[in-house]
Structure 1
Amino acid sequence: MLASVSKMMSHGFRSSKQDFMFGPWKVTSAKNHIMKSKDVERLGEEISMPCLPEMLFGDNVLRIQHADGYGIEFNAIDALKRVNNMDDAVKVACAQEWQESRADSEHSKEVVRPYDWTYTTDYRGTLLGEELQMKVTETSERIDMEKLKARENIMFFDEVLLFEDELHDHGVSKISVKIRVMPTSFFLLMRFFLRVDGVLIRINDTRLYHEAGKDYLLREFSTRENKIAELKHVPSGVYADPNEIAQYLTLKLTEYEKLELPETQPQSDQEETIQ
């Protein structure tokens, strides 16, 4: 059996966990209830952040793990650890701009804090493995997006929300990760989406792709961002839709990496194509 699903009721919330086998790879998506307040407080102290996202799913995870133990996973806590809570000069300037546009808001003075209140993160996943771990190197190879557009049977799909905050009803900060597995490959997209009403829109994307039989994964990271004032030519109706607004945002940064699999693999592990 290629996929298994288990669900349970926990504290009034519906939890779920799905596993899917792709050759020697096990794809796991787990969804649980929002993190309890006492755990949120403990985490805030641990990572030195005075406030954490109002909807934090600390137990949610999307994991891709090889039978030999190594792999990569995407979780909310590690994503928050990549938030810059030390140097907030640019963020404060943005917050002041936001304050001016929301001077009548009772919460407007709360945003200038010694941490990034937008929760912007450049998180690209957490490498797994103790004795064996994938090696990250720069690469000139690119994910073939045209190939991904081809109609191919989707054998497994899921999306996992890691955290979300509505910025006192004046925008949104959200990160989620979704994966689809085809007969000969899998493709993952983790997207951080930020919209501060009247100020800016920012998208950080991490794409991960693996083709059966290859001894590596491709990972691409990009940042797109514009101030709202620069998007006057764009219908405001698409501001809230990350999939729509992304095409209008200015590309600020791209990084391309190859995640090389450890060399000590049994030959049979190369036979990944699902029959």
Structure 2
Amino acid sequence: MMMSHGFKSSKKNFTFGSWNVTVAKTHIMKSKDIERLGEELNMPSLPEMLFGDNVLRIQHTEGYGIEFNALDALRRVNNMEDSVKVACAQEWQESRADSEISKEVLKPFDWTYTTDYRGTLMGEGLQIKVGKTTERIDMEKLKAREHIMFFDEVLLFEDELHDHGVSMISVKIRVMPTSFFLLLRFFLRVDGVLIRINDTRLYYENGRDYMLREFSTRESKVAELKNVPAALYTDPNEIAQHLTLKLTECEKLELPQTVDEVNH
């Protein structure tokens, strides 16, 4: 089931402290633009619902920040062969020998649109510096019922994989009086084969000179999920906790010091 999409364009801005969140949502990308983009990205096909102009951006008054958009997410899709995906495609092809996808899968390209996109850093002069860290986002703190001053969610792309599942990526943010928290989630379900979730969590606490970013990949073959009710397969929030954690990477996004701060 596709999410229902109201195609009324909207743009929202929300300012808190030195930060501004911009959320732009608009209609699906036009087919001529999609064709051009497919050529540019060297991908034989692109998601059927591609929101090329949708964006969620968090920007500091000094100009630096991070944004989330569909095109950069697609740039992280493997347009070359990948043994895991091809093995899975093979399995899938055999189960769907008659379907149109089987012809397409032969072109080496990741037809699941799996992406490990974690956002796009922005800023001309001042740049956020990314480094590894052992510090983790305090999920308990996030459970505290703090007043939510701003919340929004943006869909970047979605595809039904020729009615054999779903591949989608969306990003949502909530801003509290003392912090903000963002979740970018890529969700893939290939019916009868596998479920995969790539999550990027971004957390910032007021007054700190860095954000924390955690990326994780969870994946299970459907055969490994026998004890999980199939009704949960379509709900990323529910199924996430049943999938096998394959990878976690924690990063510190250090905010640049401005001249004023250095002089104080």
TM-score band by shorter chain is over 0.9
Judge conservation of contact 1:165–1:174 (CA < 8 Å) in 2: yes
Query: How far apart in 2 are the matches of 1:42 and 1:265?
Result: 43
**Residue 121 (structure 2) pairs with residue 127 (structure 1):** yes
Q: Which residue of 2 aligns with 1:252?
A: 246
Query: Equivalences for 1:144-223 in 2 at 5 Å?
Result: 144-223=138-217
Which runs of no fewer than 5 residues in structure 2 stay unpaired? 1-5
Q: SS at the partner of 1:187?
A: strand
Please give the alpha-carbon distance, in whole angstroms, between the structure 2 residues aligned to 1:247 and 1:171.
19
Counterpart CA distance in 1 for 2:247 and 2:125 is: 33
Aligned match of 2:11 = 17
TM-score by length of 2: 0.94
Letter in 1 for 2:187: F
The correspondence for 2:72, drawn from 67, 78, 83, is 78
Residues 71-95 of structure 1 deviation map (CA, whole Å, 9 limit, x = unaligned)? 0000000000000112322211111
State the Cα distance separating 1:106 from its structure 2 match. 4.4
Deviation at residue 123 of structure 1 after TM alignment: 0.3
1:69 touches 1:132 (CA, 8 Å); kept in 2? Answer: yes
* Structure 2 counterpart of 1:99, from 93, 98, 115: 93
Alignment pair present for 1:44 and 2:49 = no
In 2, the alpha carbon distance for the partners of 1:13 and 1:178 equals 18
Deviation at 1:238, TM superposition (A): 0.4
Task: State the secondary structure of the residue aligned to 2:9.
Answer: strand
Shift of 1:104: 4.3
Say yes or no: does 1:27 pair with 2:27. Answer: no
Equivalent residue letter for 1:232: K
Out of 40, 52, 69, the position equivalent to 1:58 is 52
Q: Choose from 251, 257, 260 the match for 1:263.
A: 257
Identity of aligned residues (%): 81
Q: For 1:92-149, what per-residue CA distance to the aligned partner results, in whole angstroms no more than 9, with x for missing partners?
A: 1111111222234344433332110000000000000011110000011100000000
Instruction: Look up the match of 1:227.
Output: 221
3-state secondary structure, aligned to 1:28: strand
1:157–1:259 CA distance, 2 compared to 1 (3 A): same
Letter in 2 for 1:172: V
Q: Which runs of 5+ in 1 are unaligned?
A: 1-11, 271-275
Distance in structure 2 (CA, Å) of the matches to 1:192 and 1:90: 18
Contact kept in structure 2, 1:101 and 1:198, CA below 8 Å: no
Name the residue aligned to 1:139: 133
Amino acid at match of 1:146: E
Offset at 1:267? 4.3
Residues 170-202 of structure 1: per-residue CA shift (max 9 Å, x gap) = 100000000000001000000000000010000
State the alpha-carbon separation in 2 of the partners of residues 23 and 122 from structure 1: 30
The equivalent of 2:3 in structure 1 is: none
RMSD of Structure 2 on Structure 1 (CA) = 1.6
Q: Residue type matched to 1:217 in 2?
A: M
Report the 3-state secondary structure (helix = DSSP H, G, I; strand = E; otherwise coil) of the residue aligned with 2:27: coil
| 1:243 aligned partner | 237
Does the aligned pair in 2 maintain the 1:186–1:211 contact within 8 Å? yes
Please state how far the C-alpha of 1:263 moved relative to its aligned partner: 1.4
Q: Quick one: distance in 2 between partners of 1:204 and 1:107?
A: 24
Contact kept in structure 2, 1:96 and 1:112, CA below 8 Å: no
